Amino acid sequence: MTDKQTLTIRDNRSGEEYEVEITDGSIRAADLGKIGKSDDDPGLSVYDPGFTNTASTRSAVTYIDGEKGILEYRGYPIEQLAESSTYLEVAYLLIHGELPTKEQHDQWVHEITFHTFVHENLKSQLQGFRYDAHPMGMLLSSVGALSTFYPEANKIKDPQVRHDQIVRMIAKMPTLGAWAFRHAQGKPYVYPDNDLSYTENFLSMLFRMSEPKYDPDPRLAKALEVLFILHADHEQNASTNAVRSVGSSQVDPYSAVTAGIAALYGPLHGGANEAVLKMLKRIKTKDNVPAFIEGVKNGEERLMGFGHRVYKNYDPRATIIKKACDDVFEVTGVNPLLEVAQELEKIALEDEYFVKRKLYPNVDFYSGLIYEALQFPPEMFTVLFAIPRTSGWLAQWLELVDDPEQKIARPKQIYTGARQLDFVPSSERWK
Ligand code: ACO
């Protein structure tokens, strides 16, 4: 062993050796570009579809140790935040990097609370959607439209302008999400109630009918608070990468966050909890679990809500959600599918197939059960993910905008197509 933090690479094509620096366990892809570089060779590059082993940024927002099952926001363990904080305090932490003083907290909550209303023209836009429009489609188009209401948002180097848009987006997201939900039900949109907390107000906009004031159950508001905290950030996932990639063109933050919502919309990202629910409904009873597990082991299908690209241990968020289930079911009555989920978990955690592959429950295994108990249709599940993830996207966007090392995202390609063909005009080709 030596203290030398370099890597020696021998190019067997030429016999030449190159020494490249190792910093934080990484080498710079640009250093590889020097290997074999000549007038007619652009040098070596890295081929990494899906960025499975490529760091795109330095970040101080979220830390994950997948082997140990650790998740921290700005250094604070997710378990402690979920237990003792609120979503808005966590949003402050993610955006500002530090926990707020009392004064900063009160000012932050005040600002967010008083930006919950959206322009009436945006309401008209939402009302223009078809009765069966997917709420994620409605959310992403309305967040994109917000940039037209705040044209100054493109001054992304101005700290006050940035702050204003961050407050607006975190404040208006529940309003837009709740209105998309009401739209599908043909119910009138409910305006924000600024006497209520962030999650209480969201519940009010979702469920209030003719009562003059909605009285949310504090246990449900608290469970939602916990779910929001758990979903606030998860470092460089597909949607965050989309926000950063689009944001790298220096577009306004509404447009960048819209890209994140679009990425989250996909079933490989935000849609897994819906798949878990469908699977549980299909299994139906505890007795059918062993046969289902056998099918999974025979490669017939996957146990949805199990396994994770990063976590090779219990997803810490799954442990917390499991606890939140109890609180929600105390109010709504137990979801009969809980028994099926618990049996699946019990058998899978003891089974050699799952143990050997380090497959543990992920965040989606239990969240769908809670959402269903709260009477959300499956299409709303991803909206419930997008609302709290907004603070994480914005924290990552801020980091990007201030990072002098960042450039417009522009990956390389390995060209595999034809070259230098002679164009034959259609008049000759179509003879
Ligand atoms: N059920 C059964 N087997 C599984 C599962 C599963 N859920 N997940 C992985 N495996 C097996 C694979 O078949 C493979 O086995 P093999 O080595 O015998 O071929 C091995 O475990 C490794 O699987 P990969 O697909 O290579 O792992 P990867 O890291 O690419 O996939 C993923 C991670 C996509 C999450 C996967 O575990 C999966 O499909 N899980 C179910 C879907 C799910 O719950 N997604 C939500 C993720 S959390 C989130 O996005 C918020």
Residue of 233, 252, 315, 364 marked active site? 364
Q: What is the pLDDT of residue 271?
A: 78
Identify whether 119 is a catalytic site residue.
no
**Separation CA 120–CA 175 (nearest Å):** 12
Q: What is the pLDDT of residue 242?
A: 98
* Apex 152 CA angle, 146 and 155, nearest 5: 115
Cα torsion angle, 19, 20, 21, 23, sign: negative
Residues constituting the chain: 431
Beta bridge partners of 8: 19
Rounded to the nearest 5 percent, the helix, strand and coil shares of the chain are 55, 5, 40
For residue 361, how far is its CA from the centre of ligand 1 (angstroms)?
Answer: 11
Task: Please check whether residue 227 is in contact with residue 388, taking contact to mean a CB–CB distance below 8 angstroms.
Answer: yes
CA 116 to chain centre: 22
Q: Which tokens sit at 424?
A: 């034959």
Beta bridge partners of 16: 11
Identify whether 31 is a catalytic site residue.
no
Q: What is the mean pLDDT for each group of 10 consecutive residues in the chain (431 residues)?
A: 90 95 96 93 94 96 95 98 98 98 98 98 97 96 97 97 98 98 96 97 96 93 95 97 98 98 89 87 95 96 90 90 88 89 93 94 89 89 96 98 96 96 96 88
Task: Please check whether residue 276 is in contact with residue 285, taking contact to mean a CB–CB distance below 8 angstroms.
Answer: no
Nearest CA to ligand 1 atom 15: 357
Ligand 1 lined by 272 (C-beta under 6 Å): yes
C-alpha R_g of the chain: 24
* Apex 234 CA angle, 232 and 140, nearest 5: 60
Q: What is the pLDDT of residue 299?
A: 95
Q: What is the pLDDT of residue 122?
A: 97
For a mutational test of ligand 1's pocket, the pick from 297, 303, 359, 381, i.e. the residue with the most ligand atoms closer than 8 A to its C-beta, is 359
Beta bridge partners of 7: 20
**Separation CA 265–CA 386 (nearest Å):** 9
For residue 92, how far is its CA from the centre of ligand 1 (angstroms)?
Answer: 33
Q: Which atom of ligand 1 is nearest to the CA of 234?
A: 51
Nearest CA to ligand 1 atom 37: 307
Task: Please check whether residue 199 is in contact with residue 219, taking contact to mean a CB–CB distance below 8 angstroms.
Answer: no
For residue 376, how far is its CA from the centre of ligand 1 (angstroms)?
Answer: 26
Which is it for strands 16-21 and 76-77: parallel, antiparallel or unpaired?
unpaired
Identify whether 269 is a catalytic site residue.
yes
Q: Considering only CA atoms, which of 379, 23, 34, 60 is closest in space to residue 233?
A: 60
User: In the block, which residue shows the tokens 């009285």?
Assistant: 215
Nearest CA to ligand 1 atom 4: 302
| One-character DSSP codes across 229-296 | HHTS--SS-HHHHHHHHHHTTT--HHHHHHHHHHHHHSTTTTTHHHHHHHHHHHH-SGGGHHHHHHHH
| One-character DSSP codes across 212-234 | SS----HHHHHHHHHHHHHTS--
| One-character DSSP codes across 15-26 | TEEEEEE-BTTB
Ligand 1 lined by 278 (C-beta under 6 Å): no
Q: What is the pLDDT of residue 149?
A: 97
Give pTM, 2 decimals. Answer: 0.93
- Provide the 3-class DSSP secondary structure of residue 148: helix
Residue of 96, 134, 163, 269 marked active site? 269
Task: Please check whether residue 214 is in contact with residue 193, taking contact to mean a CB–CB distance below 8 angstroms.
Answer: yes
Q: What is the pLDDT of residue 213?
A: 94
Strands (DSSP E) contained in 74-182 are 76-77
Largest Cα span, the chain: 80
